[in-house]
Amino acid sequence: MRLGVGGRIAHPIYFDRLHPWLISIGDHVLLSPYVAIVTHDATLAHHTGQTRLGRVDIGDRVMVGVSAVILPGTSIGEDSVIGAGAVVRGEVPAGSLVMGNPGKVSPVKAAVAWNQVSARNAPFWPQEGWTSKTGITEERKREQREALANCASGFVPASAAPGSPHELRERRRSSDASGQSPSH
């Protein structure tokens, strides 16, 4: 993780501990209590069998309000303010104010389809040797940071729960490949 000078970090704060090298925080940044900075998103793991990764880059002189959530693939420009409770993903231009949660309800199938299309053209890393738990090297950290620049997403495998849509699809594929019918 890169942390600039002159900043203030309140407690408690959640920094993603699985991929902290994907977090860059500029100079004179204020992080209020209960802020979460997340570099991985496993919300679709049961459907896709993968976890989305993304960098989080916070520019100089940014203020992040209480309980804001900064999601993977976010770049916040200098002199910006992120309001309390805001959920932020994507590009935030310098000098911006971001407030609220833009979440809306939509079918999971559309999100899964988007994720799968995104994954086809995105970097994909195996778990082994590519996470803090599996001994990632400094060179691989640098490679991952570079591949995830400019709000890009990449992926690592994730465990899908037994009976999840992804696990069932994978079971069907393997039985189709072997010419056997799926067991129930």
Could you tell me which of 120, 77, 111, 116 has the C-alpha nearest to residue 97?
77
The answer to whether 58 and 76 have CB atoms below 8 angstroms apart is yes
Q: Residue 113 carries which side chain, given as an amino acid letter?
A: A
Higher pLDDT among residues 168 and 21, named by residue: 21
Is 2.160.10.10 the CATH number for 2-172? yes
The answer to pTM > 0.85 is: no
The pair of three-digit structure tokens given for residue 181, joined into one six-digit string: 């019918």
Residue given tokens 């991929």 in the structure block: 19
Q: How far is residue 117's CA from residue 122's CA, in Å, rounded to a whole number?
A: 9
Render pLDDT for 125-177 as a digit per residue (tens, 0 to 9). 998 999 898 999 999 999 999 999 988 899 988 887 878 888 888 889 888 88
At 181 the pLDDT is 57
Q: Mean pLDDT lowest for which of 24-33, 35-44, 110-119?
A: 110-119
Q: What distance, in Å, lies between the first and last C-alpha atoms of the chain?
A: 46
Q: How far is residue 112's CA from residue 128's CA, in Å, rounded to a whole number?
A: 25
Render pLDDT for 68-103 as a digit per residue (tens, 0 to 9). 999 999 999 999 889 999 999 999 988 889 988 963
CA angle 147, 6, 152 (to 5 degrees): 15
All structural domains of the chain with their residue ranges: 2-172
β-strands 69-76, 36-37 pairing: parallel
